[in-house]
A = this chain, B = another copy of it.
Amino acid sequence: MIIETAELFLDTKGFCDIHDLTPEARRFVRESGLLEGQLLVHVPGSTAGVTTIEYEPGVLSDLCRALAQIAPEDIPYEHDQAWGDGNGFSHVRAALMKPSLTVPVVGGELLLGTWQQIVLLDFDNRPRHRRVIFQVMGR
């Protein structure tokens, strides 16, 4: 049985800053020797999330606009009244998107569509140094 964990560090700008994690994810799966099983991608923290999307600037902007309608930056948040962080919108977006994603691996390959990339979404209201966790499990 193979279980391996790796960390990826990256600098983000916040405010719905989206990063393509697919090349690093593919490299990690290949180097792990995993043939059949799963890759878990996870971001510790309460103001970021992980999903898949076509990594194309237009649609990234479209996704950020939809999330900005669900949790706008310019409305009052109880979180901000209590803590003064000013990032209530970041927490709400992150809770909706959730911090982890599992993708199956078969024949040593991530089962992603051609136009489907694994992405980190940073919703915070300031630059962050983010730690992303990759973990494979299987054989």
Contact = CB atoms under 8 A, between A and B. Distances in A.
A79 B124 CA distance: 24
Interface residues of A, number: 59
**Number of identical monomers bound together in the oligomeric complex:** 3
Contacts of A115: 45-46
Given A46-B116, A62-B79, A70-B66, A137 B38 contact: yes
B111 A42 contact: yes
A92 B78 CA distance: 24
24 contacts: A1-B1, A3-B138, A37-B137, A44-B113, A45-B115, A46-B113, A53-B94, A57-B82, A58-B79, A58-B82, A59-B78, A59-B79, A59-B92, A61-B78, A62-B71, A62-B77, A62-B78, A66-B70, A66-B71, A67-B96, A96-B96, A98-B101, A99-B103, A102-B102
Interface of A: 1, 3, 5, 36-38, 40, 42, 44-46, 51-54, 56-59, 61-63, 66-67, 69-71, 77-83, 88, 91-92, 94-104, 106, 111-113, 115-116, 133, 135, 137-139
